Amino acid sequence: MDRIEEKGELVAIVLKKDQWKNGLDFLTPDEAFCQVGTWWYDEGKELRAHRHIENQRPNDLTQECVIVMNGSVRVDLYDNTDTVFQSVTLAAGDLMVLLHGAHGYEILESDTKVIECKNGPFISVDKDKIIL
């Protein structure tokens, strides 16, 4: 797992497909709005049925996780001056959690498929994003 920081702030977490750990492995810090973890278990492992309890979880920032299922994508990470400070290429099986800062994507292969998960609710592009 790679942690990408800019001026002491955790901006993104990258997990390549060959970096998984056995068992339950949470990648994000407890205080992140977007909680991302991986499961790696053998056949027969049972996870107890459960229901989540309603709790107020106020947040003021959208964070997201992208998982590349097929193909590849380049993710550009921007600093507070809207300048790219790092680019990461994700391939099939890789994931990235974007916690802070701006980011942009370029699809590098045809038939690229990506799953995006983020905290909601979604309001609108005008109210949720500043386009660089």
pLDDT tens, position by position, 16-46: 999 999 999 999 999 999 999 999 999 999 9
Surface-to-core class of residue 96, CB atoms within 10 Å of its CB (0-12 exposed, 13-18 middle, 19+ buried): buried
Residue 125 has pLDDT above 90, yes or no: no
Surface-to-core class of residue 85, CB atoms within 10 Å of its CB (0-12 exposed, 13-18 middle, 19+ buried): middle
The confidence score (pLDDT) of residue 131 equals: 82
Domain assignment present for 112: yes
Q: Residues 74-87: pLDDT tens digits?
A: 999 999 899 999 99
Residue 92 belongs to a domain with what CATH number?
A: 2.60.120
Closest-CA residue to 103 (of 123, 125, 121, 130): 130
Confidence tier at 124 by pLDDT (50, 70, 90): confident
**What letter would DSSP give residue 123?**
-
Domain range for 109 is 2-42+61-128
Domain assignment present for 52: no
Domain assignment present for 55: no
Confidence tier at 59 by pLDDT (50, 70, 90): confident
Domain assignment present for 49: no
Domain assignment present for 54: no
The confidence score (pLDDT) of residue 36 equals: 96
Count of domains observed in the chain: 1
Domain assignment present for 81: yes
Domain assignment present for 47: no
